Amino acid sequence: MSSAQTLSGKNPNQHKRVSIKSNPGFLERLSETAGGTVVGVGLFFLSIYVLFTNEGRALQTASSLDEGLSQVVSLVPYVSLDLQNNNRLVHLSAQLHTAQPLHDPNYRVVVKAVKLKRQVEMYQWVEYQESKDYQENGETKTETTYSYNTEWKSELVNSRNFDKEIGHQNPSAMAVESVTVVAPEVKVGPFILSKGLVAQINNFQTLSLKDFSALNIDPFLSIDDDYFYHTQFPRKPEVGDVRVRFSYAGLSDDTSHLGPAETVSIVAMQKGEQLMPFKTKSGDTLEILYLEELSAEEVFKREHQYNSMKTWGLRAAGWALMFLSIQLTMRIIYTLVDWVPVLRELVGVGLKIFALCVSCSLSLLTIGVGWLFYRPLVAVALAALALLPVLLARSGLPAKKDE
């Protein structure tokens, strides 16, 4: 059984709600723990999958990068198209170029770049909550403090989900929508970039509005701190007011006051006048773009570093999943003794140590199995390291006396 009561204070933008719930009995706690055990088993197999497949992915990516580096042809920028390199992996460093500038007619913003983003924010009510549990008269009480504040948010905040909507209503829609415009054709030297390469150009920079006059666009607009405000009082906004900021990525005009056209380094397959994804024999697809001038060797070195970081990140995620799964699976033991305070604490610490040791050993074993087909010597070394806690535990046992 549970109930709730609301406690109001002097601040209209803050109130408390106390919910009361009877402490669950032993069978109810055991039932909840059994559900956690099922979840733990599922997470355990998921961790095995993540750890095992990650090793295959890492080795495949490394092999594909080595294969690409051995085949890549570096092109001299700003030369005519050479069809002899058709269907070959090529490397090129040159400036971005787009035929037409991007513009937003509503705000008269014009930029010659690969992408132009219009980000809209609305001044809205936001709800925050903070809860704390405590025991009283054999019941569990949860005291939740709700507070409300006004902030600029880029997404709509649904005030209908607030605990107290009265006095904190938000509009149901924005007067202006956020949008990102992409140039229909992006070139580097004589080549047209694929959609996959264009998608990697995301170095957005805020467009300065110091040279803009809002009155020439709309008398109800004002400019402050690189924002267009749909109010004449940007420093004293009200709920429902809207502001707009523009940003651009991939500058492609040498004559712009924003700066020179950006130089990019690309590794992809040449197919006529287009740069497309390159499928390696190892199984990966190479379609790489960096927003700086790099040699082919530097590009592949960066990709190897990224592959290594991703591999270790997924290893850590796989271990964390396994650690959590073992804790959830063994939680039922803690539930059986949680009515004895001292024993409960000892069992809780013991289960954490057990989960830590087992998850480390099983993670290393799984990684070793993943490497077994490709690098058997490394797999054997990892297996030996995984068994080390077991060997140390056995060596610490007292020897039997001779009868």
User: What pLDDT, in 10s, does the model give residues 141-171?
Assistant: 788 889 999 999 999 999 999 988 899 999 9
Between 23 and 281, residue with greater pLDDT = 281
Q: What CA–CA distance (Å, rounded) separates 284 from 100?
A: 34
> 79-108: per-residue pLDDT in tens?
667 788 899 999 999 999 999 999 998 898
The sign of the CA dihedral 372, 376, 377, 378 is negative
pLDDT at 300: 97
For 276-298, what is each residue's pLDDT tens digit?
A: 999 999 889 999 999 999 999 99
- pLDDT score of 26 more than 70: no
d(CA 37, CA 39): 5
What is the pLDDT, as a whole number, of residue 403? Answer: 42
The answer to whether the beta carbons of residues 302 and 200 sit under 8 Å apart is no
Token pair of 7, please? 């406690």
- Rg value, the chain, Cα: 30
Convert the pLDDT of each residue in 235-280 to its tens digit. 899 999 999 999 999 999 776 788 899 999 999 999 999 999 999 9
Pairing of strands 263-271, 274-276: antiparallel
- Residue 100 identity (one-letter amino acid): Q
Mean pLDDT over all residues of the chain? 85
234-269 b/e with 16+ CB inside 10 Å = b? beebeeebbbbbbbbbbbbbeebeeeebbbbbbbbb
- The pLDDT > 70 percentage for the chain reads 82
**For the residues 173-193, what does the mean pLDDT come to?**
93
Q: For residue 216, what pLDDT is reported?
A: 64
* Domain parsing of the chain, residue ranges: 23-61+308-395, 73-125+149-294
CA 282 vs. chain centroid, Å, equals: 27
Return the number of other C-beta atoms located less than 10 Å from residue 139's C-beta: 14
Q: Give the range among 48-57, 254-263, 308-317 with minimum mean pLDDT.
A: 254-263
